[in-house]
Structure 1
Amino acid sequence: MSQKQGVILYGPPAAGKDTVTRALNELDARYAQFARLKVGSGKTVGYRMGSADEFAHLEMAGDVVYANTRYGNTYVIDRPGMDSAFEAGVPVVHLGQVDGIRALVDGYAADWTVVLLWCSQEVTVERSAGRGDSDTTARLAAWQATREDLDAHPDMRWDLTVDTVATAPEESARLIGQLLAQRAGAATA
């Protein structure tokens, strides 16, 4: 593979980003979720916890590729973190904003495969309750914001769209892996 390959999984809360990422990792251990820098509190699993000072330092150095605020926290895709993720394998970045996708694709040179994972609002409620989320109401607001984000960007093009109710995580992972292999083959041809 001559160019670095990465995966962006976009979708509302509980659409299956974590589950599909686990299935990708089971398919090939090179796939690993990119641990965004999180400034705030709450869930720590899957994040690199940081301080406001660390975030400010990254901003001053021009190393913030994208940052957003949700659930009272700031989530950061930073250049040093992304560099480390690519050194380790194929990063899988979870996003819920089209602006984040564009910032990453335009701001960090790699061959990005962009995947839309989708589920209904009702499924988000079921999955959120099933995993014991204490903030389901906030997740529903985020689901609505994701829907509005999609509607506001009708020009957004996806390399793959997956209905996570109709498609098993293993099949989603297989389709993503197949797409990356095709793109790598096309790049070397």
Structure 2
Amino acid sequence: MRQGILLYGAPAAGKDTITAALTELDAQYVPFTRLKIGTGKTQGYRMGTPEQLAALEGRGDVIYRNERYGNIYVVDRPGLDQAMEGGGVPVVHLGQMVGMEQVTALYPAHWVRVLLWCSKETTARRSPQRGDTDTTARLDAWNATQDDLAAHPRAQWELRVDTDTTAPREAAEKIDAIVRASSPRS
């Protein structure tokens, strides 16, 4: 059975940092690079065109897409297939519950769902530290994420991590333990 990790959280909750800690822990963890159509930050994305997006949509290969910060972000079937080659465990970053639901429903795998959280003050501090030039938009997204969570009180999480109080390595070790416990290889 294929496996993957879904990291859900507000902007600057630590998705990139914990993904880096996971990849340092074990090479099986692969950061999933979402397809991005738009401008701005390119690191951590596969930059695409509207034509590429239309082709993916035409083949039914878009698992989830959302628009934020004036860009389109896509979780696609070919990208997930590639990340899972050779037993890779992709780490997918999401900030919307509908994305969590669509990935788990439309892409068969054992998904470990992790809620990463930090205070709004922490997002306000971390956002400019990581080079964001649109911290106000990130704080608006923090509010939207909190509202999204409140609207889904029955959401199932294998782990909840408060990144204000939990070190990245500790969070990665907890996630790794859950993946290994649920792995058919264990």
Q: TM-score by structure 1 length?
A: 0.96
Output the CA distance in 1 between the equivalents of 2:65 and 2:157.
Answer: 21
Q: 2:62 aligns with which of 61, 64, 72?
A: 64
Q: Percent identity?
A: 57
Q: Which residue of 1 aligns with 2:170?
A: 171
Q: Aligned pair count? A: 185
**Cα RMSD after superposing both structures:** 1.1
The Cα of 1:148 is off from its aligned counterpart by: 0.4
Output the CA distance in 1 between the equivalents of 2:55 and 2:180.
Answer: 37
Amino acid at match of 2:45: Y
Output the CA distance in 2 between the equivalents of 1:26 and 1:178.
Answer: 15
The Cα of 1:188 is off from its aligned counterpart by: 6.5
Output the CA distance in 2 between the equivalents of 1:66 and 1:76.
Answer: 6
Q: 1:27 aligns with which of 18, 25, 28?
A: 25
Q: Which residue of 1 aligns with 2:4?
A: 6
Output the CA distance in 2 between the equivalents of 1:118 and 1:179.
Answer: 18
- Map 1:95-174 → 2, pairs under 5 A: 95-174=94-173
Output the CA distance in 1 between the equivalents of 2:149 and 2:114.
Answer: 13
The Cα of 1:130 is off from its aligned counterpart by: 1.6
Q: 2:71 aligns with which of 65, 73, 82?
A: 73
Output the CA distance in 2 between the equivalents of 1:81 and 1:182.
Answer: 26
Long gaps (5+) in structure 2: none
Output the CA distance in 2 between the equivalents of 1:114 and 1:146.
Answer: 16
Output the CA distance in 2 between the equivalents of 1:128 and 1:67.
Answer: 23
Runs of 4+ deviating beyond 3 Å: none
What CA deviation, in whole Å up to 9, does each residue of 1:109-167 have, x standing for no partner?
A: 00000000000000000101222210000000000000000011111110100000111
Secondary structure of 2:41's counterpart equals coil
- Map 1:33-52 → 2, pairs under 5 A: 33-52=31-50
